[in-house]
Amino acid sequence: MTKLPIERLEAISSQVRRDILRMVHQVQSGHPGGSLGCADLLVALYFEIMEHDPSKSVQKDHFFLSNGHISPVFYSVLARSGYFGIDELSTFRKINSRLQGHPTTHEGLPGVNIASGSLGQGLSASIGTALSKSMNGETGKVFCLMGDGELQEGQVWEAAMFAPANKVKNLIAIVDVNGQQIDGPTDEVLPLLDLSKKFESFGWNVIQLENGNTIQDLIDSLRKASTLSTEGPVIILMKTKMGKGVDFMEDSHHWHGIAPSDSQLAEALSQLPETLGDYPI
């Protein structure tokens, strides 16, 4: 059972993907590839898994986007969840906007917990928040999304060593394993090798998710992780397709940080049904 039918969640994902493409296209700037790949995860988190109430300033569950460059998917899901109006999506990356190129608390955008963009920092912050919840006797969950290329940052491994050693509870890390980074496939730039073994040897409970673009599978993995996390930290190695949902963008690092042209946008939008109404430009 889910709060919303799976078909409904898939419909939201389609709209989120349209938002991502339209935002990036409008300013001819931003990161569509990873955003499209993580759309299903964020929809599953915000519309099914997490306990949160956009009308409140303090949330039970927390989400940290460590790979801040996929801000388009974050902003779309926050707006579609009710943290702010969808009209504001049209201000993405423009001057005087709360929707900065990379997410920040500095401009007062609701739903953002910390600035991110310089990579490798989100897991540490997530551990801190999970620890504060434990100290307060709270049971809320902390979810942290990282990119796979981001794991090349040393700080990630400082944090990865700390969390299991200190049995940090209610912490669920998620790695977007799309195998791509700016300069090419991760296997060519700096191979990550066996991430499962790496995290297992650090003491994490590792969940492999083969299809991170299937909502039901995502929900199953996230629920399992939430249950396991009461004992100690859990990490989901989530395979996704970069650019998922737009055939000519899928599985290519080319679309990491490139905006579609007018004709490419039209072609992409034709593959994604408008389910909740596009935000006005």
Binding site for other proteins (CB under 8 A): 62, 64, 104-106, 113-118, 120-133, 135-136, 138, 154-155, 158-159, 161-162, 166
Unique residue bearing structure tokens 């897991």: 123
State the nearest-atom distance from the C-beta of 17 to other proteins, in Å.
Answer: 28
Half-sphere exposure of 254 (CA within 13 A, CB side): 6
State the nearest-atom distance from the C-beta of 202 to other proteins, in Å.
Answer: 13
**Identity of the residue, 118 or 201, whose beta carbon is nearer to other proteins in the bound complex:** 118
State the nearest-atom distance from the C-beta of 106 to other proteins, in Å.
Answer: 6
* Cβ neighbour number for residue 101 with a 10 Å cutoff: 17
**Identity of the residue, 28 or 118, whose beta carbon is nearer to other proteins in the bound complex:** 118
**Identity of the residue, 127 or 238, whose beta carbon is nearer to other proteins in the bound complex:** 127
**Identity of the residue, 116 or 180, whose beta carbon is nearer to other proteins in the bound complex:** 116
State the nearest-atom distance from the C-beta of 109 to other proteins, in Å.
Answer: 12
* Cα 267 from Cα 101, distance rounded (Å): 25
State the nearest-atom distance from the C-beta of 145 to other proteins, in Å.
Answer: 15
**Of 16, 25, 18, which Cα lies nearest the Cα of 255?**
25
**Identity of the residue, 204 or 255, whose beta carbon is nearer to other proteins in the bound complex:** 204
State the nearest-atom distance from the C-beta of 157 to other proteins, in Å.
Answer: 9
Is 73:16 a contact under the CB 8 Å cutoff?
yes
* Cα 146 from Cα 228, distance rounded (Å): 20
Q: First and final CA of the chain: distance in angstroms?
A: 36
**Identity of the residue, 45 or 163, whose beta carbon is nearer to other proteins in the bound complex:** 163
Written as six digits, the tokens of 73 are: 């998917």
State the nearest-atom distance from the C-beta of 24 to other proteins, in Å.
Answer: 23
- Listed in sequence order, the residues at least 6 apart from 193 whose beta carbon sits closer than 8 Å to its beta carbon are none
Give the containing element (helix H, strand E) for 158: helix 154-165
Written as six digits, the tokens of 255 are: 């679309």
Q: If 0-12 CB within 10 Å is exposed, 13-18 middle and 19+ buried, where does residue 31 land?
A: buried
**Identity of the residue, 158 or 274, whose beta carbon is nearer to other proteins in the bound complex:** 158
Written as six digits, the tokens of 216 are: 């039901």
